[in-house]
Amino acid sequence: MIGIRFIQAACFAAAVSAMSTVGLAAGGHGPGEGHANDTGEPGKASAATRTVEVELGDMFYEPKTVRIEQGETVRFVLKNSGELLHEFNIGTAAMHAEHQKEMLEMMESGMLTATGINSDMSKMDHSKMGGHSMKHDDPNSVLVEPGKTEELTWTFPQATDLEFACNIPGHYESGMVGNFRFEN
């Protein structure tokens, strides 16, 4: 347990150090904001052509690559087997870089901790913090607390450079990123 706490602290410190020179006045963090049409859109579980189970461990995804067909709707079942809070976020590398700034802000505010979501903080109005609303409610992303399972259903309209990643400070940099391989 002491080793995990050390890793948590080291990852957080590295992320804060790496991001401290980057401005945090990024745009909003509301549903659908910043998501180009070529990244896809939320889908209905009933329309999914298949279900993909993804394990979120401490600093890894299993599987690391997910095969996708253009136009396919996939239901992701996301199981956090680790001891840390993790995220499954679908986007491009540039989208993840922007989202990492917002996640850092959420960690610094106390809304998120290394192991969970501060439910008292998540109910507060954070609209004045960082110049934008601080909520984790993008349709392409879900937070999964340790030992929990969540779902996300997504429709992929076309082949593009998408990846899935955990944008909690230090996790992406530690290798918690996977990719989609588009097939026709």
Report the CATH number that the domain containing residue 138 is assigned in CATH.
2.60.40.420
Q: What are phi and psi of 34, to 5 degrees?
A: 80, 10
Tokens of 1: 């347990």
Tokens of 25: 């006045």
User: What is the pairing mode between strands 177-183 and 163-165?
Assistant: antiparallel
Question: What distance in Å separates the CA atoms of residue 61 and residue 177, rounded to the nearest whole number?
Answer: 7
Of 181 and 122, the structure prediction assigns the larger pLDDT to 181
- One-character DSSP codes across 147-173: T-EEEEEEE--S----EEE--STTTTT
Of 12 and 79, the structure prediction assigns the larger pLDDT to 79
- If you ran DSSP here, which 8-state letter would residue 117 be given? B
The single residue listed with the structure tokens 């579980």 is 45
In a domain, 31, yes or no: no
In a domain, 29, yes or no: no
pLDDT at position 34 over 50: no
154 strand-pairing partners: 42, 74
Give helix 2-19 / helix 93-109 axis angle, nearest 10°.
Answer: 110
Write out the residue range of the structural domain in which residue 10 sits.
Answer: 2-22+39-183
Residue 151 contacts residue 77 (beta carbons within 8 Å): yes
Q: How many domains does the chain have?
A: 1
Average the pLDDT over 117-127 and give the result: 63
Question: What distance in Å separates the CA atoms of residue 171 and residue 98, rounded to the nearest whole number?
Answer: 14
In a domain, 32, yes or no: no
How high is the pLDDT of residue 124? Answer: 52
The single residue listed with the structure tokens 């602290």 is 9
In a domain, 51, yes or no: yes
Cα 27 to Cα 17, 60, 74, 81: the distances in Å are: 22, 28, 28, 32
Average the pLDDT over 149-178 and give the result: 95
